[in-house]
A = this chain, B = another copy of it.
Amino acid sequence: MQTDTRALHNRLARIEGQVRGLQRMVDEDAYCIDVLTQVAAVQTALEQVAVQVLDSHVRHCVADAVAGPDEAAADERLDELMAAVRRFAKVR
């Protein structure tokens, strides 16, 4: 997991830089559509973070619980997972 954590940290550091860039654009009164394009780029980068975390969570925490002997714990992990997927997919 070390490599994953480092990759995730780096992605987030880049996102932090993008958000600072957005503040500069706003301060310099950049054209609205250019600001929106940059916001969309940050949103895409954040989605990639969420996908990476979700992917690793499903393959490790959830898979381990489901393969383990404690059925109640497995069910709890699955409920939690589906709640996270619903929130991620912005289910109304």
Contact = CB atoms under 8 A, between A and B. Distances in A.
A15 B49 CA distance: 15
A61 interface: yes
Contact of A26 (B12, B50, B62): B12
B33 A57 contact: yes
Band of interface residues on A: 35 or more
User: Would you call the interface of chain A mostly helix, strand, loop, or mixed?
Assistant: helix
A36 interface: yes
A13 interface: yes
Interface in A17-45: 19-20, 22-23, 26-27, 29, 32-33, 35-37, 39-40, 42-44
Given A12-B22, A36-B88, A89-B85, A63 B54 contact: no
